[in-house]
Amino acid sequence: MAENTHRRTPPEPRIAFHKTELQPILDVYGRLVMAGKARDYAIGMHKDVAIFAIFRRHAENPTWRIEKQPHFANMQGQYVVYGQAGQVLRRGRELAQVLRVFDRSRFRVIE
């Protein structure tokens, strides 16, 4: 018998958000939807980073990106929130602390 030469290579491992990380992110997303600041989201899982992108409109670039970068966990922290222009809004080791960047816009002075 001929030996099977077509072996499947296992898929590369990908970074993903755990369900305990996804819940606070979805809570933030829900608040943004209620405030009219968000309409859609996308989740990306790559070999070195997981991305939760929040869109104001469907066909444009994400307004915010929440990224999990485990290779930075011991240095700057593995969680990062980026703005629309790619600027770092907040970086840290704890997800809850990083997501507080969205709380700043919660309170506004009304004239």
The model's pLDDT over 16-72, given as tens digits with 9 standing for 90+, comes to: 899 999 999 999 999 999 988 999 999 999 999 999 999 987 667 899 999 998 888
Q: How many CA atoms lie within 13 A of 13 on its CB side?
A: 3
Residue 92's alpha-carbon distances to 17, 49, 69, in angstroms, are 16, 15, 11
pLDDT at residue 109 is higher than 50: no
pTM of the model: 0.80
38, 32 Cβ separation under 8 angstroms: yes
45, 53 Cβ separation under 8 angstroms: no
Ranges assigned E (strand) in the chain: 40-45, 50-55, 64-68, 79-82, 88-92
b (16+ CB within 10 A) / e for 30-40: eebeeeeebee
59, 39 Cβ separation under 8 angstroms: no
